[in-house]
Amino acid sequence: MSKADNLHNPAAVKPKARESIHKTTLDWFGQRERGKVLDVPAGYGHLSLKLKEMGFEVTCGEIEPEIFKLPDLNCVYTDLSEKIDAPDSSFDYTCCVDGLEHVANPFRAVEEIARVLKPGGYALFSIPNYANIEKRLKFLWHGYLTKPVSREKFERHGKKLFNLHISPITVTLLDFILGINNLEIVEIKENAPKKKQYVLLPLVLLLKLVDSFSSDHRKKKHRTDLTLHRKVILGGNNLILITRKKQGVTGIISRCRIP
């Protein structure tokens, strides 16, 4: 990680996720009106602490609350595959950094996050970017989205599935899960672009050229608005999705144009 990503001094609580994800997340929150935030999974508490220092009212949830290191913030046990212990429409913002790929039931996790979010509120998610051009070529070569997990690795991690990437979620699948919970993607953010991918730019341009000759039906079917989005196909190892809960809408929402 670069020195520019260092958000803490050596004595402070460190991010459990990539520091660049926390930095991008905090930069976005810094432009928002202050309100109530649910940070889940909260990890060691780095993001929660920074949000509190920025003036947000923070509630912390973590499946391993014993790893939470902030004595001045309460962290409650939360299994996103089951239920968030909060009433409907409780929060102005929810923040799920590097969480969905670790839960056994990401459908349930998003459903619960959407339930506790106020209509018009924002939910931020970060997930691995399986759709950048580098990952696509690696899939072609290796045949998997995320690295295989061995029995030995499972045991080294205390036989706890949530410490492993057990639910590799693509951006199109996540968009579907969001949609059936009345959350729409309003922005895709980058945390750490991989400049070396630009050597593959001719291949990306070829894919875009082919897509330009496709019918609207085919583009919609294959969601090339997402899969060929510049911040996706030329993005880094992670995607940060800013979503907003629709007001007064039930069922699957319509897709919007993503900036």
Per-residue burial over 68-97, b if 16 or more Cβ lie within 10 Å, else e, is bebeebebeebbbbeebebeeebbbbbbbb
pLDDT of res. 249? 57
pLDDT of res. 259? 63
Q: Are strands 36-39 and 117-128 parallel, antiparallel or unpaired?
A: unpaired
pLDDT of res. 250? 47
* Pairwise CA distance, residues 193 & 207, whole Å: 20
3-state secondary structure of 60: strand
pLDDT of res. 256? 46
pLDDT of res. 17? 67
Give the helix ranges, DSSP H, for 35-183.
Answer: 46-53, 106-116, 133-142, 151-156, 171-179
Domains contained in the chain, CATH given: 3-132+149-194+237-245 (3.40.50.150)
pLDDT of res. 126? 96
pLDDT of res. 199? 95
pLDDT of res. 247? 86
pLDDT of res. 74? 87
pLDDT of res. 198? 92
Cβ distance 106 to 178 under 8 Å?
no
Q: What is the pLDDT along the chain (259 residues), one digit of tens a residue?
A: 333 344 444 446 777 667 889 999 999 999 999 999 999 999 999 999 999 999 999 999 999 999 999 888 989 999 999 999 999 999 999 999 999 999 999 999 999 999 999 999 999 999 999 999 999 999 999 999 998 988 999 999 889 888 888 999 999 999 999 999 999 999 999 888 888 999 999 999 999 999 999 999 999 999 999 999 999 999 999 999 999 999 875 444 444 455 6
